[in-house]
């Protein structure tokens, strides 16, 4: 038998002992002490330093004056840590292993976290001091006692108090890590739940849902977040019953667990906000009522055993020395926290079941999920602060500029040296490659956003009583993390809108010869340096005439019959503020708030929305977004001595107007006629107080479109197109309006990037004044 | 801050150390050398619209975009054409929100001086006409007066307004 195996057995034996003690009380006063001495003796058979250390520790514990409970708690923690470490560091426990760095790290860590150094050195073995006892209690004893208290009172309906953040205060990295991981896990759970609803009997899926709950519970417990822990624990109990076939999963259960995901997401997010100084949100009632509902469902399904089960589960995972991540920037070592949370819990079954191991080795399904890489052993992934990535991307942006400066340098061109030209070409290729790779570092798959939509479709489909099938494609398409975060809400809103307004009720669909079940499809793909996200439905399509009528009613369109708005222009009106064609306002949509916000959000990401629709066949919204927010594709314009970068996403056209196109109002050139449309003219020089060409007929006009408004921007000249790296101007210029940031231009000078929304606001402000 | 507390603070804190001395018109000013990152020649400054006159704009310092303040304008001296000797002193400033790099335009950089506590005297009272709360004290070296300024106060917080001239 290997040492590792022995450790596992000791671990299990201690867990069984803990189970007995919790259920039956301490009973024989010396059971723990006796057990510890026995285990220490067993370990004595191994010659390795790790085994010796552990045996020594157990003996110290046995001889200490601590209570049986405290001894057991501490022993569980120490053995647990050793067993976990032996998986990471096989050398530490190998039968003839030498003390190496790995071993030292493990044993040192274990000692440090379990007993005071004095005890480790053997100086005060006979006389355990106060701090020793305190350490023991901190480790496991308190939680064991708490559980005993809970078991005695059987009170599951107490309100869930806001979590005490003491353990997280001052450790922003740990908090961030916990929050990030928990949200990741909740995301995984949500998508698996939706699959589970289709295949309720799939135990693999159940395991996939159970495990992240378990991890969240364990991590929350380790950080003293008792509220989160309690909710996760209750749901876990239900899931575990389902796993062992004692409870059947039906729609009620899925609903409950989904609710739990929502509540936990809120709680976890709330923790983040509170750490930034916000007041706790009132989530206690929601959490308590959820815990109560789940408990009722559990009791309805199976009487008696489950409460004990729940306690056992909690006993094992509650106060464990969950390392979460000792080092915030590196990945979980293989067999790290994941394993530790799963093992003791399951060890409470008298004989370890095969699925005991399921929690300790990541299942293939975890690996196929792109966002779980941090738990997969062997991929060598690390977590890096985005700030570091940003400065890398920045530096590479500068490199690109310097590279092009050198390449374009006339002095070099004059040399006409073939080898130099080749080398410069090589430098350019490498630089471009480097930039692409650096950009890719900040990107994540869009899956996270799609998952949320999946959930919306499921909930809405029931609420609206419209059977809807959602098809997804391109979930692996990667884009800037911030874009994924910011696009989620607009996506959900648009899908909600499609389902509510676009898709007809089933009877209408059948009458029109369509399948009763409607289809909404969501896809993401790259196209020409942009990301395109499409939301398509096979619903009724946009009713151009009706939108036109509504728009005329609201004064958005001229009622004269010869007004020539193209269908595209009319369709775009659905993004106008307050616009709604819905005759009835439903709970879900139709209030006319939303689509304008959707467009604003997308434009804030420097993206745009296009609509394709066919009456009776359906509508497709295509959102086009830049690959990254770090770089802007800009049109360089000159105004007086200054040059500005205008993001090309808002540019519709540019022209040199003839005098007849320019119309004056109160003596000022204020309007520009472009074909049939009259556009307001804004002089960037006037707006920014720069001396510039005053007569638009002598200048250049760039037509920009922001939030559905087209404006002619008067500039002196168009210079070139350039991709620039966006740099913030910092606090000093936080009041600068119309400016989105700065960029280093090709000649090394700083150019200011224009903020089209801000320019419109400035223009409106100037008009009002 | 009242003059009393300023005096107390000055006596309590030891301002001795190395100072970079620079000139604005005929006056000499000093800032602690520890605050100074580097000194660069005058370069092209990109104007940021809607800023007070002393906020000249931004420069590119090896890929970083850094705000530049014209100290002459800030202290109410008449504006003057930049000369060969005009410099931008890059300093690190602790604003209420963050530490940032800023450039200050000065007429010329004079020297680096070691000032002992004996050299430094508390800021005298000039009455209401002169704002003194950004002054750390006055140093007298070889009969010349150097006004030691607290950059965090000059450039931070309410630093947007133009202060009246000291003398």
A750 with B47: Cβ contact below 8 A: no
Distance CA A303, CA A643 (A): 75
Residue A664 confidence (pLDDT): 82
| Closest by CA position to B60, among listed B97, B106, B103 | B103
B63 with A395: Cβ contact below 8 A: yes
How far is the alpha carbon of A685 from chain B, nearest alpha carbon, in Å?
10
Taking the Cβ of residue A98 and every Cβ of chain B, the question of whether any pair is shorter than 8 Å is answered with no
Distance CA A87, CA A91 (A): 9
| Closest by CA position to B152, among listed B106, B114, B98 | B98
Cβ contact A680:A763 at 8 Å: yes
Residue A16 confidence (pLDDT): 72
Residue A8 confidence (pLDDT): 75
Nearest-Cα residue of chain B relative to residue A399: B63
Query: Which is more confident, A452 or A310?
Result: A452
**Mean pLDDT to the nearest integer, A455-473:** 87
A737 with B50: Cβ contact below 8 A: yes
Confidence of residue A351 (pLDDT cuts 50, 70, 90): very low
- Give the mean pLDDT per block of 10 residues along chain B (167 residues): 45 73 91 92 90 89 87 86 92 80 92 87 74 81 88 66 35
Instruction: Indicate the residue of B51, B59, B95 with minimum beta-carbon distance to A750.
Output: B59
Query: Which is more confident, A536 or A328?
Result: A536
Range name among A167-176, A219-228, A404-413, A512-521 with the lowest pLDDT average: A167-176
B65 with A736: Cβ contact below 8 A: no
For residue B37, what are the CA distances in angstroms to B34, B89, B90? 8, 8, 5
Query: Which is more confident, A3 or A304?
Result: A3
Confidence of residue A84 (pLDDT cuts 50, 70, 90): low
Residue A754 confidence (pLDDT): 92
Interface of A with B in 713-732 (CB under 8 A): 727-732
How far is the alpha carbon of B37 from chain A, nearest alpha carbon, in Å?
18
Cβ contact A541:A614 at 8 Å: yes
Cβ contact B100:B93 at 8 Å: yes
How far is the alpha carbon of A431 from chain B, nearest alpha carbon, in Å?
16
Distance CA A184, CA A182 (A): 5
**Mean pLDDT to the nearest integer, A541-569:** 77
High-pLDDT (> 90) share of chain A, %: 8
Cβ contact A109:A130 at 8 Å: no
Taking the Cβ of residue B167 and every Cβ of chain A, the question of whether any pair is shorter than 8 Å is answered with no
Residue A154 confidence (pLDDT): 39
Query: Which is more confident, B35 or A122?
Result: B35
List all residues 6 or more positions away from A38 whose beta carbon is below 8 Å from its beta carbon.
none
B46 with A688: Cβ contact below 8 A: no
**Mean pLDDT to the nearest integer, A402-415:** 80
Q: Running DSSP on this structure, what letter comes out for residue A727?
A: B
Distance CA A35, CA A14 (A): 8
How far is the alpha carbon of B161 from chain A, nearest alpha carbon, in Å?
13
Interface of A with B in 632-661 (CB under 8 A): 642
Distance CA A157, CA A165 (A): 22
Residue B81 burial by Cβ neighbours in a 10 Å radius (0-12, 13-18, 19+): exposed
Residue B107 confidence (pLDDT): 93
B48 with A731: Cβ contact below 8 A: no
Q: Running DSSP on this structure, what letter comes out for residue B121?
A: E
Cβ contact A542:A571 at 8 Å: yes
Write out the two tokens for A323: 């390392």
Range name among A526-535, A544-553, A560-569, A586-595 with the lowest pLDDT average: A586-595
Taking the Cβ of residue A392 and every Cβ of chain B, the question of whether any pair is shorter than 8 Å is answered with no
Confidence of residue A56 (pLDDT cuts 50, 70, 90): confident
In the sheet with A739-744, reading across from the earlier edge strand, the strands are A717-725, A631-639, A642-647, A750-754, A739-744
Instruction: Indicate the residue of A395, A687, A750 with minimum beta-carbon distance to B46.
Output: A750
List all residues 6 or more positions away from A23 whose beta carbon is below 8 Å from its beta carbon.
A151, A308, A311
Residue A169 confidence (pLDDT): 67
How far is the alpha carbon of A393 from chain B, nearest alpha carbon, in Å?
12
Residue A498 confidence (pLDDT): 86
pLDDT in tens, A258-272: 888 888 888 888 888
The 3-class secondary structure across A438-478, one letter per residue, is: HHHHCEEECHHHHHHHHHHHHHHHHHHCCCEEEEEECCCCE
Residue B95 burial by Cβ neighbours in a 10 Å radius (0-12, 13-18, 19+): middle
Angle, CA of B76, B81 and B87, to the nearest 5°: 85
**Mean pLDDT to the nearest integer, A233-246:** 81
**Mean pLDDT to the nearest integer, A416-436:** 87
Nearest-Cα residue of chain A relative to residue B101: A730
**Mean pLDDT to the nearest integer, A689-697:** 84
Kindly tell me if the per-residue pLDDT of A392 is higher than 60: yes
pLDDT in tens, A629-669: 777 888 999 998 889 999 988 899 999 988 888 888 887 77
Residue A472 burial by Cβ neighbours in a 10 Å radius (0-12, 13-18, 19+): middle
**Mean pLDDT to the nearest integer, A414-435:** 87
Residue A581 confidence (pLDDT): 58
How far is the alpha carbon of A636 from chain B, nearest alpha carbon, in Å?
14
Kindly tell me if the per-residue pLDDT of A713 is higher than 50: yes
A739 with B49: Cβ contact below 8 A: yes
Distance CA A175, CA A328 (A): 10
Kindly tell me if the per-residue pLDDT of A543 is higher than 80: yes
Burial A338-354, CB ≥16 within 10 A → b, else e: bbbbbbbbbbbbeeeee
Residue A170 confidence (pLDDT): 63
For residue A289, what are the CA distances in angstroms to A135, A214, B7? 35, 20, 62
Distance CA A420, CA A47 (A): 66
List all residues 6 or more positions away from B111 whose beta carbon is below 8 Å from its beta carbon.
B21
Sign of the C-alpha dihedral computed for residues A727, A728, A732 and A734 taken in this order: positive
Query: Which is more confident, A344 or A160?
Result: A160
**Mean pLDDT to the nearest integer, A313-318:** 41
Cβ contact A82:A7 at 8 Å: yes
Range name among A148-157, A527-536, A682-691, A737-746 with the lowest pLDDT average: A148-157
Taking the Cβ of residue B95 and every Cβ of chain A, the question of whether any pair is shorter than 8 Å is answered with yes
**Mean pLDDT to the nearest integer, A147-156:** 40
pTM given for the model? 0.52
Write out the two tokens for A69: 């409970």
ipTM computed for the complex: 0.80
Q: How many CB pairs under 8 A join A and B?
A: 68
Kindly tell me if the per-residue pLDDT of A589 is higher than 80: no
Contacts of B99 in chain A (CB under 8 A): none
Write out the two tokens for A668: 């000022």
Residue A12 confidence (pLDDT): 75
Residue A362 confidence (pLDDT): 37
A752 with B44: Cβ contact below 8 A: no
Write out the two tokens for B87: 């410099």
Residue A347 confidence (pLDDT): 31
Taking the Cβ of residue B161 and every Cβ of chain A, the question of whether any pair is shorter than 8 Å is answered with no
**Mean pLDDT to the nearest integer, A6-32:** 68
Average pLDDT across chain A, whole number: 73
């Amino acid at each position: 038998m290997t040492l590792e195996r022995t450790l596992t057995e000791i671990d299990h034996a201690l867990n069984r002992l803990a189970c007995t003690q919790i259920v039956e009380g301490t009973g024989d006063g010396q059971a723990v002490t006796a057990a510890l001495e026995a285990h220490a003796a067993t370990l004595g058979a191994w010659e390795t330093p790790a085994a010796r250390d552990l045996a020594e520790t157990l003996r110290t514990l046995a001889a200490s004056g601590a209570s049986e409970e405290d001894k057991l708690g501490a022993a569980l923690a120490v053995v647990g840590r050793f067993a976990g470490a032996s998986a990471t560091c096989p050398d530490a426990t190998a039968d003839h292993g030498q003390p190496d760095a790995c071993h030292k790290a493990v044993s040192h860590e274990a000692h440090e976290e379990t007993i005071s150094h004095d005890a480790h050195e053997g100086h005060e073995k006979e006389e355990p001091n106060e701090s020793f006892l305190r350490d023991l209690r901190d480790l496991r004893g308190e939680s064991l006692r708490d559980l005993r208290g809970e078991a005695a009172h059987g009170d599951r309906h107490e309100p869930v108090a806001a979590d005490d953040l003491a353990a997280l205060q001052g450790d922003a990295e740990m908090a961030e890590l916990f929050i990030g991981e928990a949200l990741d896990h909740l995301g995984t759970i949500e998508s698996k739940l939706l699959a589970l609803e289709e295949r309720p009997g799939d135990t693999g899926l159940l395991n996939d849902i159970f495990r992240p709950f378990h991890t969240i519970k364990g991590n929350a417990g380790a950080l003293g977040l008792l509220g989160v822990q309690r909710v996760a624990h209750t749901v876990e109990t239900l899931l575990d019953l389902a796993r062992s076939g004692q409870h059947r999963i039906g729609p009620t259960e899925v609903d409950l667990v989904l609710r739990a995901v929502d509540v936990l997401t809120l709680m976890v997010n709330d923790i983040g906000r509170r750490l930034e100084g916000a007041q706790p949100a009132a989530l206690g009632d929601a959490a308590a009522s959820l815990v109560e509902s789940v408990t009722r469902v559990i009791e309805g399904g199976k009487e008696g055993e489950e409460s004990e089960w729940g306690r056992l589960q909690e006993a094992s995972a509650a106060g464990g020395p969950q390392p979460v991540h000792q080092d915030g920037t590196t990945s979980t070592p293989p067999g790290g926290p994941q394993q530790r949370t799963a093992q003791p819990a399951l060890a409470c079954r008298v004989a370890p079941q095969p699925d005991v191991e399921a929690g300790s080795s990541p299942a293939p399904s975890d690996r196929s999920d792109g966002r779980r890489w941090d738990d997969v052993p062997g991929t060598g992934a690390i977590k890096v602060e985005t700030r570091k990535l940003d400065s890398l991307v920045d530096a590479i942006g500068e490199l690109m500029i310097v590279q092009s400066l050198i390449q374009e340098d006339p002095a070099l061109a004059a040399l006409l040296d073939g080898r130099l030209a080749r080398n410069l070409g090589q430098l350019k290729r490498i630089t471009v490659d480097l930039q692409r790779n650096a950009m890719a570092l900040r990107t994540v798959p869009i899956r996270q956003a799609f998952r949320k939509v999946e959930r919306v479709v499921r909930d809405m489909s029931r609420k609206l009583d419209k059977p809807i099938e959602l098809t997804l494609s391109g979930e692996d398409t990667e884009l800037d993390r911030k874009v994924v975060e910011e696009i989620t809400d607009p996506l959900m809103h648009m899908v909600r809108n499609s389902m509510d307004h676009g898709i007809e009720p089933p009877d209408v669909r059948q009458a029109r010869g369509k399948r009763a079940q409607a289809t909404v499809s969501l896809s993401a793909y790259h196209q020409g340096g942009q990301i395109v996200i499409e939301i398509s439905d096979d619903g009724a399509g946009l009713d151009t005439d009706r939108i036109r009528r509504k728009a005329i009613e609201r004064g958005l369109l001229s009622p004269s019959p010869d007004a020539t708005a193209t269908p595209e222009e009319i369709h775009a009106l659905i993004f106008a503020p307050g616009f709604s064609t819905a005759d009835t306002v439903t709970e879900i949509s139709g209030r006319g708030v939303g689509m304008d916000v959707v467009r604003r959000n997308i434009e804030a990401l420097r993206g745009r929305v296009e609509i394709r629709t066919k009456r009776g066949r359906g509508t497709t919204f295509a959102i086009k977004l830049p690959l990254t927010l770090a770089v802007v594709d800009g049109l360089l314009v000159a105004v007086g001595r200054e040059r500005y970068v205008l993001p090309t996403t808002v540019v519709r056209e540019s022209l040199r107007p003839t005098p007849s196109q320019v119309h004056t109002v109160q003596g000022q050139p204020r309007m520009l006629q472009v074909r049939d449309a009259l556009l307001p003219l804004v002089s960037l020089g006037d707006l920014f107080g720069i001396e510039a060409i005053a007569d638009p007929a002598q200048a250049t006009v760039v037509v920009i479109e922001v939030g559905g408004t087209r404006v002619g921007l008067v500039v002196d000249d168009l210079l070139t197109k350039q991709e620039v790296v966006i740099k913030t101007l910092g606090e000093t210029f936080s009041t600068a309006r119309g400016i989105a940031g700065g960029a280093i231009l090709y000649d090394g000078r700083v150019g200011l990037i224009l903020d089209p929304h801000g320019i419109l606001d400035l223009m409106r402000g100037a008009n009002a004044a | 801050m009242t003059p009393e507390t300023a005096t107390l603070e000055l006596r309590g804190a030891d301002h001795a150390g190395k100072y970079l001395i620079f000139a604005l018109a005929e006056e000499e000013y000093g800032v602690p050398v520890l605050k100074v990152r580097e000194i660069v020649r005058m370069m092209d400054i990109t104007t940021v619209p809607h800023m007070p006159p002393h906020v000249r704009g931004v420069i590119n310092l090896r890929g970083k975009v850094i705000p530049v303040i014209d100290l002459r304008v800030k202290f109410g001296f008449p504006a003057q054409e930049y000369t060969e000797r005009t410099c931008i002193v890059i300093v690190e400033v602790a604003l209420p929100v963050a530490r940032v790099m800023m450039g200050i335009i000065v007429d010329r950089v004079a020297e680096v001086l070691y000032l002992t506590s004996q050299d430094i005297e508390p800021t005298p009272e000039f009455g209401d006409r002169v704002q003194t709360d950004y002054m750390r004290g006055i140093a007298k070296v070889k009969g010349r007066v150097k006004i030691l300024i607290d950059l965090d106060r000059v450039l931070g917080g309410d630093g947007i307004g133009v202060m009246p001239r000291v003398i």
